[in-house]
Structure 1
Amino acid sequence: MVTGTAAGALLVSTGTASAHVTVNPGEAGQGEYAKLTFRVPNESGTASTVRIRVNFPAATPLPSVRVKPHPGWTAKVTESRLPRPVDVGDVRLDRAVTSVTWTAAEGSTIGPGEFDEFDVSVGPLPAKSSMSFPVVQTYDDKTVARWDQAQAAGAAEPEHPAPTLTLVAGSGGHHGTEAAAYAALAVRRLGRGGAR
């Protein structure tokens, strides 16, 4: 569990009607590690965002998920047993991180007209064309926004698209060896039930 200590929502200019939750950068290399930033705007005119849950796909589990401490928010990392073991490079996973939930302390919520950003380090990324991370955004008036709609090729963007990371061929080199070492360490820690 990671606990923040200070408040810190970021102010953005008006005009959030077309804003949605995104993952940045939008592209990363297969087999590599990446820092992913989930940008969360507040689209409510009156309520504040108090909780963000980012879901990680069990079909393409990540051996390592590390959360950057976020001032004013507490992060809970949830690991789950996979329906069946999955081979990731030279390692086999039977458990993986399936979600990270950030909860705001009093005074640290994302107010109307504001946005905030939440960082995780993940990897190694799978040999797929993309990964989606459905997000559940909860407001203090109990309303919930679900950013979980898939983007169909050639179709208009849905109203609540899931943040999607495009995956391209990795650069390889020494980074691949480093990734394999980190993956093996992560698997050993998962086997002991330890944190990443």
Structure 2
Amino acid sequence: MSLSINGRRVALTGAAALTAVLALAGPASAHTEVEADKAQALAENVILTVVCEAESATAGFREVRVVLPEGIAPSDVTLEQAPKGWQLKTTDDGYVVGGTPLKTGVDAEYKVKIRQLPDVEEVAFKTIDTYSDGKVSRWIELPKGGEEPEQPAPLLKLKAAAPGAKPISPSPTASPTPSPTPSVTATPSESGATAAAADTKKDDDGTPMSLVVGGVAAAVLVLGAGAWLLTKRRASAGS
């Protein structure tokens, strides 16, 4: 009797353990993961490694679309490494990496550089995988109430920002501080170039050089003619 009870207990315990293992393994059997070489808030030029696990038995990955978290602009992402033939294109809310479909069962792995991570504790990179046969997997769900979602979005936990770290300008073309007033003194080379350009266009008062040269030539002719007439009159009076 005691052996029967003990056997039942062992069986129930084993079944519960197996159920727990399957429950934990289910969502992780095929999903997307993201890692960073500098998982720290406000870190700059961070390399993210993204791995999308293949879950289709009949088709390979064609593209991976990512919705960026708040604080990371699409223009702040550049492609560092990807499967052969794959390229990165930005979207309004993130980016797409894709190209020639991969072989069936091959994971899609690529690396991107992030200009700067936001000042938060964790960031979510919602990912949508598309296969060559049109099948779509959406890893976009966030944890709620402590429960693990069935299709969780890749999460990256960040350490606190380093002392003195500050957010950089949102755009690479924007200057964080006002630019100094340009100097009005030209260098010798600049002066020569400016003078050469002025010779082919206008002089200092805005008059075209062709008119100036023509005016000088006309004045010389007038003076020459006047001198000739004056000399002729004096010759006539003397005679």
* TM-score bin (small chain): 0.5 to 0.7
- Aligned runs of 1:46-125 on 2, under 5 Å? 46-57=58-69, 59-62=70-73, 64-78=76-90, 80=92, 98-105=93-100, 109-112=102-105, 114-125=106-117
1:45 aligns with 2:63: no
Aligned residue runs from structure 1 range 127-146, under 5 A: 127-146=119-138
Between the aligned partners of 1:49 and 1:165, the Cα distance in structure 2 is 23
Higher relative contact order (Cα pairs below 8 Å, separated by 6+ residues):
1
> For 2:155, which of 155, 161, 164 is the aligned residue?
164
More strand by share: 1
Distance 1:47 1:17, change over 3 A: farther
Larger radius of gyration: 2
> Normalising by structure 1, what TM-score?
0.64
- How has the CA–CA distance of structure 1 residues 17 and 162 changed in structure 2, closer, same or farther, with 3 Å as cutoff? closer
Normalised to the residue count of structure 2, the TM-score between the two structures is: 0.53
Deviations 1:29-64 (A, max 9, x none): 11112211110111112121111111112x323472
Tell me: CA distance 1:40–1:137, structure 2 relative to 1, closer, same or farther (3 Å).
same
* Structure 1 partner of 2:172: 186
1:143-165 CA-to-partner distances (Å, cap 9, x unmatched) read 1001101022521x212111111
- Contact map agreement 1:26 1:166 (CA 8 A) in 2: no
Query: Which residue identity does 1:169 align to in structure 2?
Result: A
Structure 1 or 2: more helix by fraction:
2
Q: Cα RMSD (Å) of the superposition?
A: 2.9
Separation in 2, partners of 1:149, 1:109: 25
Identify if the C-alpha distance between structure 1 residues 165 and 17 changes in structure 2 by more than 3 Å, giving closer, same or farther.
closer
Match of 2:208 in 1: none
Counterpart mapping for 1:19-30 below 5 A: 19-25=30-36, 28-30=39-41
Q: SS at 1:188's partner residue?
A: coil
Asked if the contact 1:39/1:117 (under 8 Å) is kept, the reply is yes
Instruction: State which of 15, 32, 43 in structure 2 corresponds to 1:32.
Output: 43
Runs of 5+ unmatched residues, structure 2: 1-25, 176-239
Q: Give 2:98's aligned amino acid.
A: T
Q: How many residues align?
A: 148
Contact 2:77–2:112 (CA under 8 A) maintained in structure 1: yes
**Between the two proteins, what is the percent identity of the paired residues?**
28
Q: AA paired with 2:31?
A: H
Aligned position for 1:90: none
